[in-house]
Amino acid sequence: MAATQNALHSVTVVPPDYCELKRLSCSQQEEVGAKGRIDNWWNSAASDKGTYSTSNYLLLRISSQSNQLSSYCSEPRTPRENGKSTFTSPFAICPSHGELESIPRADSADTHQSSSTVACNAVSCISTDLIFARLQQCIDDRDLEAGRKVHWLAIQSGLDSNAFVGSHLIRMFAHFDRLTEANQAFHRIVNPNLYSWNAIMLAYVKSGHHQIALKVYQDLQNSCPELDGHIFVSALRTCFSPVNLGQGRQIHMQAIENGFEFDDYVGSTLVEMYAKCSDLESALAVFNRLPRWRAISCSLLIGGFVDAGEEYIALELFRKMVEKDVELDEVSYISILEACSNIAALGHGRQIHALLIELGLEFDVRVGNAIIDVYVNCQRLLEADTLFHRLPVKDIVTWTTLASGYAYNGFNKEAMQIFDDMEHYGVTPNSITLVLILRACSSVSALEQGRRIHARIVECGTELDDFAGSSLIDMYGKCGSPDDAIIMFERLPKTTAIAWSALIAGTADNEEGSKAFLLFEQMQRENVIPDRALFVCILKACSDPTHLDYGRFIHCHVAESGLGTDIFLANALIDMYVKCESLEDACTLSKTLPEQDLVTWSLLIGGHVQQGFALEALQFFDKMCNEGVEPDGTSFVCALKACSSIAALQQGRRIHGQAIEKGYELDPFVSSTLIDMYAKCGSLEDAQRDFERLPKPNIVDWGALMSGYAQIGNYSLVLQYFKAMQSRGIEPDEISFLSLLAACSRAGLLDAGCAHFKEMRDNHGSVPSLKHYNSLVDIFGHTGCLEEVEDLLETIPFGNNLVGWTSLLTSCRRYFDPSTGRRSFDRFIVMDRTNATGYVLMENIYSQMGMWDDANEIEELRKYANGWKKPGKAFIEIGNQVHNFAVGDKSHKESSAIYAKLEGLNLQLQEEGYVPRVDLVMDSTSEDDKVDALCGHCEKLAIAFGLISTVPGTTLRVSKNLRMCADCHNATRLISKLERREIIVVDAYCTHHFGNGICSCTEHL
Ligand SMILES: [Zn+2]
Ligand SMILES: [Zn+2]
């Protein structure tokens, strides 16, 4: 210690340049340029010698810049009597120069061989102002050591007991987080004033010792009843966390008592305190009483409400602030934009954007990013993109926001393009951006791009992170490269449930269900506990009727894992059962759930519609509504589809009413399904009316209307709409051409059909699909060009075309052509040996020509092959109820009346010239049995029931899941005349409008 003190008390003989510096500092201290020149000099000196310490530099800067030098010299003070001061002070006045000298620190003095030392008994003549200035300098220079020397100086001069000096010492020590020293400084003050108390409180607040700060506050209250605003602000700052809210409220009360509540700073600190304690209500109450709204309170309050998910309150507050012309900061604008983004409030977002343009803040990169985020979340990608391109400065967030917007809205290619542009502009993507783009690659199966991103992720060094690693596995799986997925998986240092999920999902996506099961079992052996997401992945792998058993096995696992009541997983299980075509399992599971949400119901409704259980689907829909679950667009679409499939017009109207009530009528998916429903229920007037109500029909709406007219073979109307659509600037798609072709087929228009097919291929550049070819097959078949059909079928560039050959077989029956029929039949059974449709048609062809031996041979073949035919079902809606009939059904409660009516009708019909087509009946021995069998056809049962349960003249609407047979067609034609009824039958092929003995179709003439 003694050696150090000696060294410190010596005065350096400085190099010649130093004298030059002093000259400058004395003569030019008022000049602006002096500091710069001295700094320059010192920097070069320091680099030459490499030995001058920071404290020297500090001293020089102080002496050169400030007027304190003169006060330092002109007001000499007697040093303290203990005399220590002159020995240990690092600063001294050199008596021979009469000027300030610098004493190098001990360490530098040792190396400074050229320096010789002289004794100096400098007198410390210190003023409070000088100490203040020096302390400030120490803080600016981040030099604690220099600060400690000033402290020492203050002790030497006795000024440390001064409240002003002591407070600044506390402030300086607090700045360097030296709490003990700050505390010592505080206790050396003889009469601490409010400023001192505040300084020590702030020191504790700053270092996070809120309880001690509060203790100081309490001590202060005891010693000094008159507090000022600064004290309240500091005290409140100790309560910036919910645990101290009670304390905060107390301080609030004291501030009110002292009349400080409406003080600008205290008020806004109160708002801040309540906002940070998540007591937004109190924050708002204080805020509303404040005479002036400061930007900081505004931004805290808005941010608080946005974070709490109270976006609408935030928006309302923001509106008031704008009305009051409060000058808001960027943080407020960013918060309020976040609110707009969270709730997709496009209108508000646009208004705020306009305001920001006015304020010139639009191009601030953080504000710009927030605006882009609003547009992205409101699915306004064009507006997001426009602003993006206008932003003069873009950061990584800007690029990532736009790219994620494109990716989340399904524009994966665009997202990838943005990534390319970003690289082109030299912006280095971070790991988040890379993973985002990787997901876009997965969605569009862009394997090569995915590999490139993989390389970039490796460069980032995050390849083996759980997050990036699983995304890579996911990408390879989705891009059809499961082997790469496995390689990636094996490289991971730790395989978590997330990585397993990605691997299993990828395997399942590549239709390697059984492989996915093996992986699942391996994972279990490795004791990785499957989570929700993993179960969902493995369930996806089970979603095929052939994997039903494994699905049930996983179901047991889910139950064992204790996740059985998780609604998300339960829905995944129901989805699996629906896809495995096991509606029974799906229903059983749904009944065990404590509650069923919209997804559960939608799955049940959709599953039943898909598998032809329209009635059950409608029951589920009604049950859902009764249980208070609000239907959404998807469930409306499913319910309406159920109505279409059974021509339940009244039910359809009812659900339409509900859709209007809930505001879904103009939902693009619901609107087109409505048109389709009315068309399929045979009410084209309704379809037309609905279509005309649409402000801007889209291609699907046009398609639904055209296909409705195509179903009844109204070619001229289909063509008219086809042209009208094009004149409105909508390019026809394959559905529109399908409608045109279907209309030609139903109406028997060969030339027009061929012309449209050619037009589609040559003028619109569309590649015809199998459906288009089969429409052409229908058109040729319908007009009897069987040879052409056969040639066409041989050349159609698709695999097994069961539909096409069935169509030809039907035409052969119509045109009595057993030889072409037989060739078609031979082709048919090669493709599907167990489908009875081919056998039935061929047998019909033979039997209608009296070729009984051949017919019997086909019948034998069918029995041998176990040929199976989908059972026919017919539906009729009476009042608000839909009744269904199977073939030969006797289960209906009106069954006896129905059969009696049919018997009576049969006699009347035969008088009208009806001959039962017994040739169409197989499996029966006697002629009478065959006539009975024909009577039991489901559509006849439905029509008979309709006749006996409605008043004369009511139109009957019947739907059938298969094609109507020739016998029923003929009978219905005559019934319409006999009973003077309009009868509409919607079958699997077209819509028949029967009236006065004729049908609108040209099928069975
Ligand atoms: Zn029939
Ligand atoms: Zn018909």
Report the pLDDT value the prediction gives residue 370, as an integer from 0 to 100. Answer: 94
User: Which residue bears the tokens 């065990």?
Assistant: 592
Report the pLDDT value the prediction gives residue 126, as an integer from 0 to 100. Answer: 66
294/301 Cα distance (integer angstroms): 11
34/22 Cα distance (integer angstroms): 11
Give the distance from CA 86 to its chain's centroid.
73
| Average pLDDT score over residue span 347-364 | 90
Q: Do 195 and 165 meet the contact criterion of CB atoms below 8 Å apart?
A: no
How far is ligand 1, taken at its centre, from the CA of residue 243, in Å?
79
For residue 93, report the phi and psi dihedrals to the nearest 5 degrees.
Answer: -105, 125
Report the pLDDT value the prediction gives residue 900, as an integer from 0 to 100. Answer: 92
| Average pLDDT score over residue span 443-459 | 86
Question: 3-state class of 923 per DSSP?
Answer: coil
- Here the tokens at position 47 are 């680099």
Report the pLDDT value the prediction gives residue 847, as an integer from 0 to 100. Answer: 87
709/685 Cα distance (integer angstroms): 11
How far is ligand 1, taken at its centre, from the CA of residue 965, in Å?
4
Higher pLDDT, 8 or 991: 991
How far is ligand 2, taken at its centre, from the CA of residue 883, in Å?
22
Predicted TM-score (pTM) of this structure: 0.60
Q: Do 787 and 771 meet the contact criterion of CB atoms below 8 Å apart?
A: no
DSSP, res 732 = P
How far is ligand 1, taken at its centre, from the CA of residue 869, in Å?
14
For residue 815, report the phi and psi dihedrals to the nearest 5 degrees.
Answer: -105, 15
Q: How confident is the model at residue 413 (pLDDT cuts 50, 70, 90)?
A: confident
**Has residue 721 got a pLDDT over 90?**
yes
Measured from the alpha carbon of residue 960, the closest ligand is 1
How far is ligand 2, taken at its centre, from the CA of residue 969, in Å?
6
User: Which residue bears the tokens 């009106």?
Assistant: 894
- Here the tokens at position 125 are 């003549």
The beta-carbon contacts of 615-619 under 8 Å, at least 24 apart in sequence, are 615/642, 615/646, 615/875, 615/882, 615/884, 616/583, 617/642, 618/642, 618/643, 618/648, 618/651, 618/882
How far is ligand 1, taken at its centre, from the CA of residue 881, in Å?
24
**Has residue 119 got a pLDDT over 60?**
no
| Average pLDDT score over residue span 783-808 | 88
How far is ligand 1, taken at its centre, from the CA of residue 987, in Å?
11
- Here the tokens at position 343 are 């709730």
Q: How confident is the model at residue 92 (pLDDT cuts 50, 70, 90)?
A: very low
Report the pLDDT value the prediction gives residue 194, as an integer from 0 to 100. Answer: 85
For residue 750, report the phi and psi dihedrals to the nearest 5 degrees.
Answer: -70, -50
User: Which residue bears the tokens 């905060």?
Assistant: 248
User: Residue 780 to residues 367, 734, 746, 966: CA-CA distances in angstroms?
Assistant: 64, 20, 11, 20
- Here the tokens at position 103 are 């004493």
Pairing of strands 956-960, 873-878: antiparallel
Q: Which element (helix H / strand E) includes 818?
A: helix 818-831
637/157 Cα distance (integer angstroms): 89
How far is ligand 1, taken at its centre, from the CA of residue 937, in Å?
5
Measured from the alpha carbon of residue 987, the closest ligand is 2
976/972 Cα distance (integer angstroms): 6
Q: What is the mean pLDDT of the chain?
A: 81
For residue 95, report the phi and psi dihedrals to the nearest 5 degrees.
Answer: -65, -30
How far is ligand 1, taken at its centre, from the CA of residue 256, in Å?
91
Measured from the alpha carbon of residue 999, the closest ligand is 2
DSSP for 774-813?
HHHHHHHHHTT-HHHHHHHHHH-SSS--HHHHHHHHHHHH
**Has residue 615 got a pLDDT over 50?**
yes
CB hemisphere CA count around 576 (13 angstroms): 27
How far is ligand 1, taken at its centre, from the CA of residue 913, in Å?
17
791/970 Cα distance (integer angstroms): 32
Q: How confident is the model at residue 1004 (pLDDT cuts 50, 70, 90)?
A: low
897/873 Cα distance (integer angstroms): 19
Report the pLDDT value the prediction gives residue 424, as an integer from 0 to 100. Answer: 87
| Average pLDDT score over residue span 505-521 | 79
Evaluate the CA torsion angle 264, 269, 270, 271 in order and state its sign.
Answer: positive
706/689 Cα distance (integer angstroms): 14
Report the pLDDT value the prediction gives residue 753, as an integer from 0 to 100. Answer: 93
How far is ligand 2, taken at its centre, from the CA of residue 992, in Å?
4
**Has residue 950 got a pLDDT over 90?**
yes
Q: How confident is the model at residue 923 (pLDDT cuts 50, 70, 90)?
A: low
How far is ligand 2, taken at its centre, from the CA of residue 1001, in Å?
4
